[in-house]
Structure formats: C-alpha cells, structure tokens
Structure 1
Amino acid sequence: MDGLEIRTHKRSYSIELKIRAVQDYLSGEYSQYELVDKYKIASRTQLQSWIAKYNSPSSFKPVGGGAKAMTKGRYTTWQERIDIVFHCLAHKRDYGKTAAQFKISYNPVYQWVKKY
C-alpha cells in the first residue's frame, strides 16, 4: 500500500545503504524483491541500476567525494584466478577484501568462486 502513495520529493539513499543492498544481493541470500522491501528501495529497477554500477569500472561516490566502492578491473591470468579463488575460500569467502588485496573488482572474485 505504501508503494501506491504519491511522492512529492525524490528519494535519496546513502552510499552505505546502496553497497549493503548490492552485497546482500550478490551473496545470494536475498532476491531483488526481498531487498526492495528490506531497504525500502523505490523499485527493483533502482536496485538493478546499483548492481550494474557496482559491477562496472565506475563506482558509487558520495556527493561530497570520498572513497570508491570498488576498484577498476584488470586482466588476470588463469593461474592468478585460481590463486584468488583459493585465497577467498581460505578467508571465509570475504570477496571484498580479496578483491581489494588483488586490486580487482568484486564481481569477478564472486563469479570465479561461484564457478569453482
């Protein structure tokens, strides 16, 4: 019922909320619809755009500047990917820290571990 109310102003979301929502989705524990309800996001399309931005070379940036949500991707060798997967698994699937340590994007780490 709340979704049918007429809005008179544009909603804004914190960078932290966006990142939490995207990471919850990438963890596989929640569907997009569940996350829209959990975080009170205006629409599933909004969440999808955050996911696309999170996985792209660009990043979420606070309006006043600040730290990036992710680093730009780079080329990796087959052996390096295997090493990254083993490192991630050895550290309780901490995709974010693994990505930061190896200076690659979050999504490839997540995808490689999932495929492995």
Structure 2
Amino acid sequence: MKIIYSTTTKLRLLSQFQNVNESLKVFYHNIGAGSLKRWIQQYLTGGLANLERPVHNRRYPKKLKLRAVRDYRNHRLPTKEILLKYDIRGLSQLRNWVILYNNGKEPVRKRVRKMGRKVSYDEKIEIVKWVLKHNHDYKQAA
C-alpha cells in the first residue's frame, strides 16, 4: 500500500534531513531513499509548490513532449536538465514519452473514446433479436 505524505510532512522531513549530518540511506524514516531524493529535487526546482500533490494530472503540449524527447535522445542532456528546462514534474513522465517515441509512436495523450448514445431497454431487445436473426442467417450461409 502506497503511503501518501502531506506537503507539511515532506517539508518537515526535508528540513530534518538538512539539519543532520547523515547520508540519505541512514536518514530516512521508513521512507524510500528514492522518495526523499525526488522530494529534494522537486523542492530545489520548484520550491514548496512543487512538493504539493497536484489535484489534477498535468498536461503537456505535444511540441514540448517532442522537444524534450529529442533533447534526451540527440543532445544527451542530463535528465535533470531536461526536467528543469521543460518544467516536467517527474522523470517517469519523460521516460514514458521516450519509450513511446522509440516504439515509433508520438508521445501524445491517449484519447478516451466517447460512449454512444443511451439505448433504451426496448431498443436493446430489438438489437439482440436482429443480431440473433442475422447470426443465424450467417451460420446457414457458411
């Protein structure tokens, strides 16, 4: 089960870490070292606002995604610089875009297919009757 820490807890732990002379691996209080590293990076890049858990997922324009992926692939910029340059919240986001790009797909947001119109109960019965009739005709023809 993933534990979600409040912004104040994250800030308190980061200030505690700053005040002790221990390595990251020794310091953490049942928190993964990766989480602490991520919080430190988020705080350094965007301050307190970057530690807050976003209410909604962030959306990135297609052009920004392509530029970030190309910088990663062609210019071999360090990932931290790419995250800062394009204001990308997490490394996993960039990695997902790179994987999509490497597989020949553009790193664009998936479109959710809209559902069709509502069908009444009577219409559903008519649809089932039609399918059964035509399915029966199809089987006889085969």
TM-score normalised by L of structure 2: 0.40
Richer in helix (by share): 2
TM-score normalised by L of structure 1: 0.48
